[in-house]
Structure 1
Amino acid sequence: MSTLDILSEDERCIVGTVRDFVDKSVKPVARELDHSNTYPEALIEQMKRLGAFGLAVPEEYGGTPVSTPCYVLISEELARGWMSLAGAMGGHTVVAKLLLHFGTEEQKQRYLPKMATGEVRATMALTEPGGGSDLQALRTVARKDADGYEVDGAKTWITNARRSGLIALLCKTDPDAAPAHRGISLLLVEHGPGLTVSRDLPKLGYKGVESCELSFDGYRAPADAVLGGVEGRGFAQMMKGLETGRIQVAARALGVGRAALEDALAYARQRESFGRPIWKHQSIGNYLADMATALTAARQLTLYAAREADAGRRVDMEAGMAKLFASETALQIAVNAVRIHGGYGYSTEFDVERYFRDAPLMIVGEGTNEIQRNVITRQLIERGGLDA
């Protein structure tokens, strides 16, 4: 049974179209774009035409919605070509789902049609310089007055910050609330006076797509900028959004792991030592067997979380498991791909060194794997066990 068999015929066609795009348009240029740290403008334009930015937007708003398992496999294909392309789509999809689930009708009408075409791309602004994974320790504050909100604070590691027309900003609208999460809201903000993208952060991998620091200094947001129109719900809304985000990060890890495995397998079949292909040497064969087994398990775990999400169930534990296992798997596969390539694995003329640089992002992005373990444990206790 093929993985694609779980999809409808239309969705299989969509995944196939993305695969062709990756093989014909992405793979031939990914290495050069990565090494020059160049924003992939032409590829993003092709992704717009393919409908990649409307995958979570209903047809009534101009989107081409797909199931979450289909979204996983599309993200995997993009990351197989170049993980940065899947990253350019990830936060955008989370914001689209936040709008769909929690936004007012006016907010949906204002943003979703333009997001579906990619005319407006969106990102999330959660992390702060001193906060890391502790989202309740926010210092960014939005103070309400007669004309709306005045926002002050700073965010960091914001993907697509310069090119996103819409930012879902997590901030405190009631700094004195107890517990703290009751004073947290999501504001839908756009670039304007008082918002500065201060710098692009230098990175080991994840090249091409910018990750930036944002500074809010007297930024003005209208009164209707609060997602859903009611203050104090932002923390719960974002926790729901992160379920999608973590499934998408797991899918990115699948793509990086798959690319590394495919390159390692091809090299092991072609490269000879001591008179035979190196895959016939047991040490190399064992690496390949373990890589393929772990990748298959990671994909099934990610698709399980995706199916549970589509069933309408809470999937913070399932998404955390998928993100944890898939990201650790991708990192190990990337390391083993370098081993199999030997000295060439350390060369920038081979793509495995890029996979080795990209893979660590998934173990720290969208909540570190240490946080994922905390989430999983807490849910095991609250649910009374794995199958309760």
Structure 2
Amino acid sequence: MANTTFSSKPVTFDLFKTKRPFYTEEHEMFRTSLRKFIDKEIVPHFEEWEENQYTPREVFTKMGEQGFLATQVDPAYGGLGLDFGFNLILGEEAHRLGGGMVGASLHSTITVPYMETYGTEEQKKKYLPKFVSGEIITGVAMTEPGTGSDLANIRATAVRDGDEYVINGQKTFISNGLNAELFFVVVKTDPHAVPAYKGVSVIIVEKGTPGFSNGRKLKKLGQRSWDTTELVFEDVRVPVTNLLGEEGKGFAILMDKLAQERISAANSSLIVAEEILKSTIAYVKQRTAFGKPISSFQNTQFEIAEMATELSLARSFLNDIITRHMNGEKIDTEVSMAKAYVPEMAKRMAARCLQLHGGYGFMEEYSIARRYRDIPVMSIGGGTTEIMKTIIAKNLGM
């Protein structure tokens, strides 16, 4: 029998450097540049902005000047024509820090694509270059008090009056509500449509239009420096040319982009979970109790091992979904599974890691406290966990 030599050198499994098959050298160069920008322009002020619950508008203008916004936009409209992977990186780095940075990801990955796909040539020429430059930041005005995910039964209306729509209604939980200059407003153009979703349309409304105003600036549990407000529409008149796509097709427009939004949410949730686990591993190695590091306790080791396994499995699943999405496959069921599972996993991980920090986890000086506050919204926005489960069950023939 041949001799077998075993190396005594320990092998370290680096969970956080798992290869992402859809990222190239160009993607990582973009990430490096973005991180340098964040370190210089945002990190030194981040705690102050969290305290003030607001990120200054000029941050997004600087991001546009540096080429970080809406990179997927066709060069004919001032963009770089890059793939979805660059938007994923923007979302990852935004959520790695948190707070107001997430507004840039919302703008680039979720709202701008509505204009790219459904805007008229005139609308695209007018707005897309400004979306890329950061001159205009965007938001989506869907949610209303009392409706939540039930978009088919919104109450905001847009009544045709000659060559104008007259909009009345109220929106809430609107991300980028203070910083955005343009909103894609979801309204009822036919309140009597059957089924109800066929009466929904999307209309472009610019800030400063008479009758359009911000309501309350909302105080949130987490993501505090990401501005969130109410919007109020009182006899707001806009030209009919501000209609996005066709009248009565608003629900289909919104659904068309939800898969990408949900992939981004799941991926960003996983990034936050990775950050939570990394900081916790570092903490338990240096924190001592009963004369030894708490990382030496079996319970700590088991907790870390279980969470690392969950992260690794989730990453493999997301890698597959993202690759298939970028290849143009329609994978609604799998996307819903990812959106249902990963944010919930991240919430559980935040609670488990806070527990491993002990009393220090309850102190704001440790990042786990903010992560614990920030992560729950990921299982709500873009479709709640419960909605995702409903979609999965329906697609399974139930």
Q: TM-score, normalised by structure 1?
A: 0.92
Residue 343 of structure 2 corresponds to residue 347 of structure 1: no
2-side partners of 1:96 and 1:186: how far apart? Answer: 14
Q: Does 1:220 align with 2:237?
A: yes
> 1:215/1:43 Cα in 2 relative to 1: closer, same or farther (>3 Å)?
closer
Structure 1 position 203 matched with structure 2 position 220 = yes
C-alpha distance after superposition, 1:47-101 (max 9, x if no partner):
3333232223122212234333443233122211124312442144322111112
1:287 is matched with which residue?
303
Which residue matches 2:97? 81
Alpha carbons of structure 1 residues 243 and 357: separation in structure 2 relative to 1, 3 Å: same
Whether 2:381 is the aligned partner of 1:365: answer: yes
| Larger CA deviation: 205-214 vs 372-381 | 372-381
Give me the whole-angstrom Cα distance separating, in 1, the residues matched to 2:114 and 2:28.
26
Task: Tell me if the contact between 2:55 and 2:100 (Cα under 8 Å) persists in the aligned partners.
Answer: no
Compare 126-135 and 311-320 and name the one that shifted more. 311-320
Pick one of 66, 72, 97 that aligns with 1:50: 66
Question: What residue identity is the alignment partner of 2:212?
Answer: L
- Offset at residue 326 of structure 1 (A): 1.6
Distance across 1 between alignment mates of 2:35 and 2:397 = 41
Between the aligned partners of 2:211 and 2:58, the Cα distance in structure 1 is: 31
Q: Aligned partners of 1:87, 1:251: CA distance in 2, in Å? A: 16
Displacement of 1:133 after TM fit? 0.7
* Pairing partner for 2:112 from 96, 99, 113: 96
- Residues 238-293 of structure 1: CA deviation (Å, up to 9, x unaligned): 01122222222223312321221121011112112233222121111122222222
Q: Is the aligned partner of 1:300 residue 2:319?
A: no
Structure-1 residue corresponding to 2:14: none
For 1:136, what is the secondary structure of its paired residue?
helix
Distance across 2 between alignment mates of 1:5 and 1:302: 11
The 2-side partners of 1:49 and 1:303 are apart by 31
Distance 1:21 1:35 in 2: 21
CA distance in 2, matches of 1:332, 1:111: 41
1:336 aligns with 2:352: yes
Change (3 A) 1:65 1:295: farther
Q: Which moved more, 1:283-292 or 1:36-45?
A: 36-45
Specify whether residues 287 and 67 from structure 1 end up closer, same or farther in structure 2 by C-alpha distance, changes over 3 A only. farther
Percent identity between the aligned chains? 35
Contact 1:346 1:353 in 2 (8 A): yes
Structure 2 unmatched runs, 5+: 1-16
User: For the Cα contact (< 8 Å) 1:299–1:326, is it kept in 2?
Assistant: no
Alignment of 1:184-333 (within 5 A): 184-191=200-207, 192-228=209-245, 230-333=246-349
SS in 2 for 1:367: coil
CA distance in 2, matches of 1:31, 1:286: 33
Match of 1:71 in 2: 87
**Partner of residue 386, structure 1:** none
Superposition pairs of residues 105-254 of structure 1, within 5 angstroms: 105-191=121-207, 192-228=209-245, 230-254=246-270
Say which of 20, 32, 44 aligns to 1:16: 32
Give the direction of change, closer, same or farther, for the CA distance of 1:240–1:44 in structure 2 (3 Å limit): same
Q: Residues 27 and 85 of structure 2 are in contact (CA less than 8 Å); yes or no, is this contact kept in structure 1?
A: no
Kept in 2: contact 1:265–1:288 (CA 8 A): yes
Distance 1:126 1:319 in 2: 21
Change (3 A) 1:44 1:263: farther
* Shift in Å, 1:25: 4.9
Pair 1:278–1:47, CA change in 2 (3 A): farther
Unaligned runs of 5+ in 1: 383-388
| Comparing 60-69 and 92-101, the one that deviates more | 60-69
**Aligned partners of 1:292 and 1:44: how far apart in 2?**
34
Q: Deviations over 1:174-224 (max 9, x none)?
A: 111111121111111112111111111111011112111111110011111
Distance 2:85 2:393 in 1: 25
How far did 1:235 drift?
A: 0.4
The question of whether the paired residues in 1 share the 8 Å contact of 2:159 and 2:166 is answered with yes
Cα pair 1:125 1:169 within 8 Å, conserved: yes
In the TM superposition, residue 115 of structure 1 has moved relative to its aligned partner by 0.4
Q: What's the offset of the Cα at 1:24? A: 5.3
Report which of the two has the higher share of helix.
1
Q: Which amino acid aligns with 2:396?
A: L
Q: Equivalents in 2 of 1:227, 1:19: separation in Å?
A: 35
Query: Are the aligned partners of 2:87 and 2:109 in contact in 1 as well (CA < 8 Å)?
Result: no
TM-score normalised to the size of structure 2? Answer: 0.89
* 2-structure distance, mates of 1:102, 1:301: 31
Letter in 2 for 1:263: S
Amino acid in structure 1 at the alignment position of 2:225: G
Count matched residues.
Answer: 381
Post-superposition CA distance 1:145-183 (Å, at most 9, x none): 212100111111001112211111111111111111211
Which is further off, 257-266 or 18-27?
Answer: 18-27
Q: In the aligned structure 2, how far is the partner of 1:46 from the partner of 1:333? A: 34
State the shift of 1:33 in Å: 2.6
> 2:330, 2:190 → 1: CA distance?
27
Matched position secondary structure for 1:7: coil
Alignment RMSD, CA only? 2.1
**Cα contact 1:52–1:89 (8 A) shared by 2:** no
